[in-house]
């Protein structure tokens, strides 16, 4: 058996996890947030940690996951981070956190995927999107071979200092970021925003309006998966921005992965 612990907002990381899982077989794909409230003892021949880069490092939910993590001695631990192309020292940051807990990271990989952070740039569409996805999939083929063959590869430590310096401060502020979300009149109270939030940070009030509960980890799933594009993030940018989710990850698949929510 193999175990993949995954965090994902718009399905890029989930797509990577699903491809690895299909290739390895006998694999559990677990929503990291669902095991957060307890000590985690990861087991399996291979244990994978997969997440998107946020603020050139790990999202807050990943920090919490890593702090609770222990791994069976015999497991081969690997990391896959995906980003819009600027991961800097994210892999090395994770390597150090694991090392401090006595967990050896045997292999580490980084994949460029479509960016999903609209304040920075519009999520790609059309030919540009196709190009990024097909390059990502080709890179993933090689990564999967390495994971199957348990071939070691250590991350570069060149930009670790930058990730360690910037990421933790930015992440600490992220839970307050959900004050920037609001919905327009096109909200039909379908509740999808509530269901897609991997950390259970959204509830619907009596009138059926979404309410963010202050423990956001900034994945923007609610913004991107809203079927009527009613959810906005940050008044200045979001109205003109594309909504994005990985085209091979259906809403049904995403919901199945994210259903077990964070236990507080």
Ligand X SMILES: Cc1cc2nc3c(=O)[nH]c(=O)nc-3n(C[C@H](O)[C@H](O)[C@H](O)COP(=O)(O)O)c2cc1C
- Cβ of residue 149: shortest distance to ligand X, in angstroms? 25
Q: What is the 3-state secondary structure (H, E, C) of 55-98?
A: CCECCHHHHHHHHCEEECCCCEEEEEEEECCCCCCHHHHHHHHH
Query: Does 11 sit near ligand X (CB under 6 A)?
Result: yes
Stretch binding ligand X (CB under 6 A), from 25-33, 92-100, 180-188, 214-222 = 214-222
Task: Tell me which residues in 153-182 interact with ligand X (CB under 6 A).
Answer: none
**How far is residue 115's CA from residue 124's CA, in Å, rounded to a whole number?**
7
61 neighbors 80 (Cβ within 8 angstroms): no
Binding mask 68-107 for ligand X (x = CB under 6 A): --------------xxxxxx--------------------
Task: Tell me which residues in 15-54 interact with ligand X (CB under 6 A).
Answer: 52-54
Q: Tokens at residue 98, please?
A: 């694991």
Which of 124, 155, 210, 218 binds ligand X (CB under 6 A)? It is 218
Stretch binding ligand X (CB under 6 A), from 65-73, 180-188, 202-210, 217-225 = 217-225
Which of 2, 13, 75, 110 binds ligand X (CB under 6 A)? It is 13
Task: Tell me which residues in 112-141 interact with ligand X (CB under 6 A).
Answer: 113-117
Q: What is the largest CA-CA distance in the chain?
A: 54
Name the residue nearer to ligand X (CB basis): 210 or 218: 218
**How far is residue 10's CA from residue 7's CA, in Å, rounded to a whole number?**
10
Q: How many residues bind ligand X (CB under 6 A)?
A: 25
Q: How far apart are the first and last CA of the chain?
A: 28
- Cβ of residue 164: shortest distance to ligand X, in angstroms? 13
- Cβ of residue 20: shortest distance to ligand X, in angstroms? 14
- Cβ of residue 51: shortest distance to ligand X, in angstroms? 7
Which of 32, 36, 56, 79 binds ligand X (CB under 6 A)? It is 56
Closest CA to 175 of 215, 213, 203: 215
Could you list the residues that contact ligand X (CB under 6 A)?
Answer: 8-13, 52-56, 82-87, 113-117, 218-220
């Amino acid at each position: 058996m193999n175990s993949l612990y995954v965090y994902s907002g718009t399905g890029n990381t989930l797509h990577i996890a699903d491809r690895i899982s299909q290739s390895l077989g006998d694999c559990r794909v677990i929503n990291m947030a669902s095991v957060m409230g307890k000590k985690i003892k990861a087991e399996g021949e291979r244990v994978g940690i997969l997440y998107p880069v946020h603020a050139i490092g790990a999202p807050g939910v990943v920090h919490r996951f890593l702090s609770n993590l222990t791994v069976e001695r015999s497991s081969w631990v690997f990391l896959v981070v995906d980003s819009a192309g600027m991961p800097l020292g994210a892999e090395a940051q994770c390597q150090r956190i694991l090392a401090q807990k006595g967990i050896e990271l045997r292999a580490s990989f980084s994949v460029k995927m479509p960016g999903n952070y609209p304040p920075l740039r519009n999520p790609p569409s059309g030919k540009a999107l196709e190009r990024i996805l097909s390059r990502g999939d080709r890179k993933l083929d090689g990564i999967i071979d390495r994971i199957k063959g348990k071939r070691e590869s250590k991350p570069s430590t060149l930009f670790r200092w930058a990730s360690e310096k910037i990421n933790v401060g930015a992440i600490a502020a992220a839970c307050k970021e959900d004050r920037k979300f609001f919905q327009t009149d096109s909200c039909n109270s379908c509740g999808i925003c509530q269901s897609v939030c991997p950390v259970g940070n959204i509830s619907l009030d009596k009138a059926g309006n979404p309410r963010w509960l202050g423990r956001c980890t900034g994945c923007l799933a609610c913004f991107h998966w809203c079927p009527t594009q009613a959810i906005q993030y940050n008044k200045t940018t979001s109205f003109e921005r594309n909504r994005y989710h990985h085209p091979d990850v259906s809403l049904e698949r995403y919901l199945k992965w994210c259903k077990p929510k964070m236990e507080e």
